[in-house]
Amino acid sequence: MDFKRYLKEYPNKEGRFGKFGGAYLPEQLVPAFEEITEAYLTICHSSQFINELRRIRREFQGRPTPVYHCERLSRKIGNCQIYLKREDLNHSGAHKLNHCMGEGLLAKYMGKKKLIAETGAGQHGVALATAAAYFGLECEIHMGEVDIAKEHPNVVRMKLLGAHLVPVTRGLKTLKEAVDSAFEAYLKDPVNSIYCIGSVVGPHPFPMMVRDFQHVVGVEAREQFLEMTGELPDAVAACVGGGSNAMGIFSGFIQDSDVKLIGVEPAGRSLKMGDHAASLSYGKPGVLHGFRSYLLQDEKGEPAPVYSIASGLDYPGSGPEQCMLKDKKRVEYTTVNDEECLEAFYKLSRFEGIIPALESAHAVAHAFKYAAQHKRESILVNLSGRGDKDIDFVVDNYGIGEKYAG
């Protein structure tokens, strides 16, 4: 497959990435999603929209975020050089604000009054609440009770920013159920509200739209890495739940055939059903939340229960674009378990002074493995978020990481 025109050719007009994606919607939502698609395609090439978004990114978000060389960890592991794209330094603490500000600007253009969304780890919820406050819009965030208990700092932040938090008490009380709940709320009033999906998932146009808003990460990272080193990295890695941070950075390097792209999924406690959320590694094609993707399924073909130590990764499917890139073999997908994730969390904190989000720590953990096996190479990791939200949960359950001090 020729990737030179990839971003212009995918998705197609029906929102499909090969056999994945599309828009499987209840009849009453079809006009609403057609309205969103038409509005986005109208303004995405508008110089006024682009210039306003660039101003917001520069003056409000603090972009560009830097690329950082982990010198101490690189020396400790071997001669492979580890670099981080510091999306943890993006305003609100994660990459999520990149698409939330774009979605908020789109909502203003469409005359919407309310933003509705789900959140897992709370990063998307905080980012959308931030966007709502900036644009003067109402904000309603649906979050599973399990994640509310785990991610208390982000819960407080959402409330401080003025969001109305809706606890979700059904099923496993995590991300999938939060998506279900948010969709139901949006169904009640699609005229005055817009559902701002938190990743490159959902019905068309959201996988395309979120990728486009996250593309800035890859564009910046490629330019910065070339300026720092005079060459491109040998590999680029990112954690994958839905896949927004991964598609953001991968899209900047997808045309560079010599750069390996690596998506890192959560292997959780074990590879038994219900103990992990590695849908690209172990799922089968299926439809969930209005789009077709690789999906973890039980024996009846229903979405399987999933788990990850990182609340932002415990989703039973992945973005349709990730699924196509897996089939095209442009992206390699691998897994990291909870123990490896925690080791990376502690080591990055102690050796580089950077506390990562547990989601991002999955990608850092894979970088450690890669560095040990590929001497004299380089790997760039998208550090998608900071770990402020996770420190209480980690310390209460696993301690402060003394065994990783040396």
Nearest one of 243, 235, 237 to 278, comparing CA atoms: 243
Burial environment of residue 27 by CB neighbours within 10 A (0 to 12, 13 to 18, 19 or more) = exposed
CA 199 to chain centre: 5
Tell me which DSSP letter residue 404 carries: G
What b/e string do you get for 202-216 counting C-beta neighbours within 10 Å, with b at 16 or more?
bbbbbbbbbbbbbbb
The C-alpha atoms of residue 52 and residue 71 are separated, in whole angstroms, by: 37
Provide the CB-side half-sphere exposure for 365 (13 A, CA): 25
* Residue 247 vs residues 76, 95, 104, 232: alpha-carbon distances, Å: 30, 11, 20, 18
Q: Measured between alpha carbons, how far is residue 352 from residues 71, 84, 100, 183, 337 in Å?
A: 8, 11, 29, 40, 22
Residue 48 structure tokens: 């006024």
- C-beta neighbour count of 250 within 10 angstroms: 29
Cα 220 to the center of its chain, rounded Å? 17
Question: d(Cα 115, Cα 110) in Å, to the nearest integer?
Answer: 12
Q: Is there a contact between 311 and 147 (Cβ–Cβ < 8 Å)?
A: yes
Of the candidates 112, 101, 98, the one whose C-alpha atom is nearest the C-alpha of residue 39 is: 112
Hey, which residues are catalytic here?
70, 95
